[in-house]
Amino acid sequence: MKPFNRFLHPGLLLAGLILVGGCSILPKSEPADVYRLPATQAPAASGTPVNWSLRLASPQASEVLNSPKIAVIPQGNLLRSYTASRWSDPAPVLLRNRLLDGFVQDGRLNRLSVADSNLQADLELGGQLQAFQTEYQGTTASVVIRLDALLVRGFDQRILASRRFEVRQPLRDVKMSAVVDGFGQASDRLTADVVAWTLAQGSAQAKNQ
């Protein structure tokens, strides 16, 4: 009978070291800077308050846009995302929250909710987010936001009105801080247009009822 060998075979020892220290030889993911949209700069509007309620739904979006990645089109149809940078929420949620801020800032529509709350409302605003990205044209770049908005009746989801909104905000610089500022400015411009359109369409529907 062979004596018990108290020493590990070199191959077994190496395998054990690889298993124990495996995480040290794997590539580490680069930490990402998390950005939120800058605070809205939209001014309060003066006008008569409306007497109907509105629920805001996050717009539908492609797999690329429905994520926290900050999308960029460097050329042609090539779609990428900025490295080591991301949004605090997926783009549809960012835009929905910016629209919510816009309606609150406007002040004419006091009965507001979001679709997540599942509250009853007279109308619902949603749609399809087609673009939420930076696009390069040669050496210059712009933030592009494109929303196909849908205004539907709350109790049966019947489409009452639809419209495409698009904003192109030129960037003063291509540094990440300037890019984020550009998204904030573009979001403010698009929000102002969507708020004005929604209030006009909603008030017209209320008169016809």
State pLDDT tens for residues 69-124. 999 999 999 999 999 999 999 999 999 999 999 999 999 999 999 988 878 899 99
CATH number of 32-208: 3.40.50.10610
Split at pLDDT 50, 70, 90, the class of 48 is: confident
Q: In the prediction, which pLDDT does 115 show?
A: 86
What residues does each domain of the chain span? Answer: 32-208
Contact 33, 176 (CB under 8 A): yes
* DSSP bridge pairs for 136: 141
Instruction: Report, as an integer, the average pLDDT of 141-169.
Output: 96
Write out pLDDT tens, residues 122-140: 999 999 999 999 999 988 9
- The pTM of this model reads 0.83
DSSP character for 61?
E
Percentage helix, strand, coil for the chain under 3-state DSSP, each rounded to 5 = 30, 35, 35
